[in-house]
Amino acid sequence: MTTPVLTQTVLLTPSAAEIVRGLLKERNLDESYALRVYVAGKSCSGFQYGMALDNQPRETDSTFETEGLKVLVDDQSIQYMAGCTVDYIDDERGKGFLVENPNQAPACSCEGGSCEC
């Protein structure tokens, strides 16, 4: 069984899509590959995300088409990632992918290394 391709639930910005296309080309990967985005954990500052290039979608994955690329999200992560935008930044904060998540509550402020989130 193949998961249907959904549209516009997890989005890539044009700059993020350009970087992903560059990675696919640099690694000589064909159009069967997608960007897999997932929640890798949670800390006081919010969700931590992971990403990988993947050409083996699982039956339980949600598949999205954005900026001409496929994005895969596993069934556990999708509950936290619906409506997310993946951007690529290169500024004073550093260089890399940034996930903007409207579902994430504001991060708590931990004092003295002790956190009770």
- The enclosing domain of 74 has a CATH number of 2.60.300.12
What is the pTM for the complete model shown?
Answer: 0.79
Q: Is 27 a domain residue?
A: yes
Number of structural domains found in the chain: 1
Cα–Cα distance list, 114 to 42, 104, 107, 108, 111 (Å) = 16, 21, 14, 11, 6
Q: Is 72 a domain residue?
A: yes
Q: Is 79 a domain residue?
A: yes
Domain that holds residue 23: 5-100
pLDDT at 117: 43
The larger pLDDT score, comparing residue 117 to residue 54, is at 54
For 22-59, the pLDDT digits (tens) are: 999 999 999 999 999 999 988 777 889 999 999 999 99
Q: Is 106 a domain residue?
A: no
Rounded percentage of the chain residues whose pLDDT exceeds 90: 60
